[in-house]
Amino acid sequence: GGIITQTPKFLIGQEGQKLTLKCQQNFNHDTMYWYRQDSGKGLRLIYYSITENDLQKGDLSEGYDASREKKSSFSLTVTSAQKNEMAVFLCASSIQGAAEQFFGPGTRLTVL
Amino acid sequence: GEQVEQLPSILRVQEGSSASINCTYENSASNYFPWYKQEPGENPKLIIDIRSNMERKQTQGLIVLLDKKAKRFSLHITDTQPGDSAMYFCAAGNSNNRIFFGDGTQLVVKP
């Protein structure tokens, strides 16, 4: 088995601040994803990466940057935090696109 | 891309009865259809999936059906229990490295 860790678990920032969320996986999976989940809602794909140094935009990429520094890690940057993007950010990984995605525990973002 | 429609958004059933969730997709190239369960405060977890070479799959009280002609797939939970109360997401994808999620169904199993 493997595990996905996300840091921090809770992130509090000021409006307009640049904030970075980190994700690590030890599954040795090629593909990693960042999703945003607003309270009680579905999963919206922000960015994904099919291999180290690759980056693909999802449906909600505006206002975010991402970086796949190495196969095991994928970070997400909120370029200018806004109050309307308070949500849980979920990282996931899979061996390939059409396969089970394993999700991390999430980072809950609060913007003051 | 792909659009996945999921209905209903909320489903209330009596304990012991069955529950059905339906999804439709647009892209005929989609060949992988997973279902995820998300309990309150937890992350989503895969409960069952089906590929386009099958029409039916069953495991531990869960049945998934796939109708490729109608571009429709469904999850059926037999003999629901309070522990089945959760958010359920369907998804569709192919080998193009991402899947497309439905908006979710909140299942409430009443004792």
Average pLDDT over residues A13-39: 96
pLDDT exceeding 90 applies to what percent of chain A? 92
- B-interface mutation test, from A38, A90, A103, A108, most B Cβ less than 10 A away: A103
For residue A48, the chain B residues in CB contact (below 8 A) are 97-98
| Mean pLDDT value across chain A | 95
Query: b/e map of A24-37 (b: 16 or more CB within 10 Å)?
Result: bbeeebbbbbbbbb
pLDDT at B76: 98
- CA–CA separation, A35 and B105 (whole Å): 18
pLDDT in tens, A52-95: 999 999 999 999 999 999 999 999 999 999 998 899 999 999 99
* Inter-chain CB proximity B98 and A103 less than 8 Å: no
- Output the six-digit token pair for A10: 């809770």
pLDDT at B9: 97
- CA–CA separation, A93 and A74 (whole Å): 10
Residue spans of chain B under pLDDT 70: none
When CB atoms are compared, the residue of A40, A98, A104 closest to B93 is A98
Query: b/e map of B71-90 (b: 16 or more CB within 10 Å)?
Result: bebbbebeebeeebbbbbbb
Query: Using 50, 70 and 90 to split pLDDT, how confident is the model at A1?
Result: confident
